[in-house]
Amino acid sequence: MLDERLGQLLQAAVPHEARVAVLLVDIRRFRFVNETIGRQSDDNTIRECARRLRESWPEQDNVGRIASDRFALLLGEFDNESELLLAIEQTVISTFQTAFTVDGHTFSLSAVAGIALFPEDGADVDTLFKNAEAALVQAKAASEPYVFYQPQMNARMAHTLLLESKMRGALEHEQFVLHYQPKVRTHGARIAGFEALIRWKDPDGGLVGPGEFIPILEETGMINEVGLWALRRVLRDQAEWRKRGLDVPRVAVNVSAVQLRRRDFTEQMRSLLANNAGQALDIEITESLLMEDIEGSIEKLEEIRDLGVKIAIDDFGTGYSSLSYLSRLPVHALKIDRSFIDGMLRANENMSIVSSVISLAHALKLKVIAEGVETDEQCRVLQELECDEIQGYLVSKPMPADEVARMLQQNALAA
């Protein structure tokens, strides 16, 4: 019926060149209600949402429920944009500011909306709904209460879908590769270890960096498989270096939030390491992730540390570490985020942050590694500040496994 309604509104709008708005509204956290207070209350909650939406929307008959927790709202022939904006703000934001009380339970919900306008965003019912949905997806991704459709949105959704299917292919056809970047001691410049950084060998192009595809892998859960692949690959490369008679360096692998949250992550690590005697595998975890579920992290990381794995906190300084927890985390190093090193010689605040992080780490008996060191000057200052290790283009860019072998060979000859 709502489809028909929209058809009528469009027809009526054409002669006076009027505009029509289509809103798709999702109720956030609705599943939470479903899971915690049960099905019956769930129906009552939806009724209450429907009542509130109808009461605050200027055209009560143009409100319909189109899926479990999704509503469509139409506004025919509005006069100006501020009238529309006011209606949206009231319906999507104000209406949900009062808590819900359903069957004795009190909780709050919020709404999120995507909006498409006739005629600019589509000339027919289907196109308007499709584009309002693209805007809704965007609103959710950006955590905005509402977003207006923009022409690029469908292109972006198509791009994401294409990348997702390419990632499945990449996993199947082993198109991922690991490059290794050395970390060296600030004093004496000896290699302290390597970090493994993933790349995708796109058959249609060159090497694609992780920034482009890790978010998609995380969203789809594929990161679990790819992350496991990376850990296995490192163990295989280390075995290869060992076979060539080289001194096998420790290698750190970046572990995603999604992987660490899995209940069986420690088990995965345990079985990987059980089959690989004499391993030298470490992990890096970003600061923001650790602080998300601190008690859970401590427990898991203790088990992992007991397997002989060293743990570093990556991108340190960009999250919001609680200092009292920092001392309880079973980690062995902090990696100062590249942005501070980059700005260190330009802004005093950055210099203070770098020097404070180094003192803090040493007070907690942790090692400090500076990321993204590009100049001799940065290196000299870090030496003065007694930073333990540096990593960055100044020493070397990330390189393929056989170049690592060559580097290790030269190092052995030089020693």
Task: Name the segment binding Mg ion (CB under 5 A); options: 26-34, 212-220, 257-265, 280-288.
Answer: 280-288
Residues interacting with ligand C2E, by CB under 6 A?
A: 181, 197-198, 209-211, 214, 223, 227, 230, 253-254, 256, 284, 314-315, 338, 371-374, 392-393, 398
CA-to-CA separations, 39 to 31, 32, 35, 96, 102, in angstroms, rounded: 10, 11, 8, 21, 12
CB of 181 to ligand C2E, least distance (A): 6
Which lies closer to ligand C2E via its Cβ, residue 49 or residue 373? 373
Counting Cβ atoms within 10 Å, is residue 232 exposed (0-12), middle (13-18) or buried (19+)?
A: middle
Site for Mg ion in 19-78 (CB under 5 A): none
| Residue 114 partner contact from ligand C2E, Mg ion, none using kind-dependent CB cut-offs of 5 to 8 Å | none
Site for Mg ion in 108-127 (CB under 5 A): none
Which lies closer to Mg ion via its Cβ, residue 115 or residue 401? 401
* Strand 70-78 with 63-67, pairing: antiparallel
Cite the DSSP H helix spans in 306-400: 323-326, 338-343, 348-363, 376-384
CA nearest to 116, candidates 104, 128, 134, 106: 128
Under the binding rule (CB under 5 A), the answer on residue 287 touching Mg ion is no
Site for Mg ion in 370-399 (CB under 5 A): 371
CB of 129 to ligand C2E, least distance (A): 36
CB of 300 to ligand C2E, least distance (A): 16
Residues linked to residue 176 through DSSP beta bridges, in sequence order:
200
| Residue 398 partner contact from ligand C2E, Mg ion, none using kind-dependent CB cut-offs of 5 to 8 Å | ligand C2E
CA nearest to 121, candidates 132, 136, 105: 132
Site for Mg ion in 309-348 (CB under 5 A): 314-315
| Residue 210 partner contact from Mg ion, ligand C2E, none using kind-dependent CB cut-offs of 5 to 8 Å | ligand C2E
Nearest residue to ligand C2E, by Cβ distance, number only? 392
- Contact 284/250 with Cβ under 8 angstroms? no
CB of 145 to ligand C2E, least distance (A): 30
- Contact 260/297 with Cβ under 8 angstroms? yes
Helix (H, G, I), strand (E, B) or coil at 391: coil
CA nearest to 282, candidates 192, 404, 390, 172: 192
Q: Which residues bind Mg ion (CB under 5 A)?
A: 254, 284, 314-315, 371
